[in-house]
Structure 1
Amino acid sequence: MIKLDTELEGKRALYGEVCRLFGDHGLVIGGNWDFDQGMFDTTLYSDGGESIYLRLPFDVESGMLDEEDALLVFKTPFVIKHIANIGLDDEESPALATTGLDQFQSPEDKDAPIHQKTNWAVEGEQKVAALMDDMQFSQL
């Protein structure tokens, strides 16, 4: 994981506004969220089972995440690399196979070493800077 040096940390914005703008920049809310925290993700690189992601974590300061007017406060953005398990699942479940729910496996490595760290840090920081240029953040 590479923590990024950006101006985003500590900034506040409304969930509805962030979703629209971040969506325009290819970021979506990640699947591992709940009503008081989450992160926006985008893929910086993907080849075979290897993917490098930019993640923008946040806490919900007021409201709940599924509300347009929930106030988010951003934490330190980071770049992370996943290596997918593209082989057969050794613990395959016949019940899951029958229902079609066995199509996803856990990553082989959720925080794999990242080569060319400086390049990925620069790319992530540039993407965050572009977001910052387009976003109105609360001064609360």
Structure 2
Amino acid sequence: MLELDTPIEGKLACFGTLRDKVSDHGYHFGGGWDYNRGHFDSILSREGGETIYLRVPFVVHDGELDDYNTYIKFKKPYVIKHVVNTGLDRNASSLLSGSFNQFQEPVDKDAEIRDKSRWETAGELAIEDILQYLE
């Protein structure tokens, strides 16, 4: 994990409005959220079984996350690298059904990031896509 120092930390935004706008820039509202925290993810690079993501976490400032008009406050963003097995994943249920499971858990959810300055710069530039919509 590579933490980024950017001006987004501490900024407020309307969750629903921002989610709609940043989706055009490749950001997705990440899984694993609850009613008082969540994150936006964007893919910076995907090569073979390696994917480098920008993750922009936030906490709820006012409201609950299932409400479009909830206000969120951003925390420190970071870059993370996931590594998956590029072969097909055969498990007991997929063998029984005669199909393959294409949705695998990463082999390494926090793999080492090489060329850190490159990914710091890429992450900081990607944050600009969100900053342009903040109050």
Normalising by structure 2, report the TM-score. Answer: 0.89
Q: Which amino acid aligns with 1:28?
A: H
- Matched position secondary structure for 1:52: strand
* TM-superposed deviation, 1:129: 2.5
The structural deviation recorded for 1:11 is 0.7
Counterpart of 1:14 in structure 2 is 14
Amino acid in structure 2 at the alignment position of 1:3: E
- Shift >4 Å, 4+ stretches: none
For residues 98 and 7 of structure 2, what CA distance do their matches in structure 1 show? 46
Pairwise CA distance, 1:66: 2.0
Compared CA separation, residues 97 and 34, structure 1 to 2 (3 A): farther
Alpha-carbon contact 1:96-1:102 (below 8 Å) kept: no
C-alpha separation between the residues in 2 aligned to 1:99 and 1:66? Answer: 38
Q: Which amino acid aligns with 1:70?
A: T
Counting only pairs closer than 5 Å after superposition, residues 1-140 of structure 1 correspond to structure 2 as 1-89=1-89, 92-94=91-93, 98=97, 102-132=101-131, 134-137=132-135
CA distance in 2, matches of 1:101, 1:34: 31
Distance in 2 of aligned mates of 1:96 and 1:70: 44
Q: Is the 8 A contact 1:58 1:73 kept in 2?
A: yes
Q: How many residues in Structure 1 have an aligned counterpart in Structure 2?
A: 135
Provide the C-alpha distance between the structure 2 equivalents of 1:5 and 1:73, rounded to a whole number of angstroms.
15
Checking the alignment, whether the CA contact within 8 Å between 1:49 and 1:86 is kept in structure 2 is yes
**Given that residues 27 and 42 in structure 1 are in contact (C-alpha distance below 8 angstroms), is that contact kept between their aligned partners in structure 2?**
yes
Question: How far 1:127 moved relative to its partner?
Answer: 1.3
- 1:59 aligned partner, one-letter code: V
User: 2:58 & 2:129 partners in 1: Cα distance?
Assistant: 18
- Contact 2:88/2:101 (CA < 8 Å) preserved in 1? no
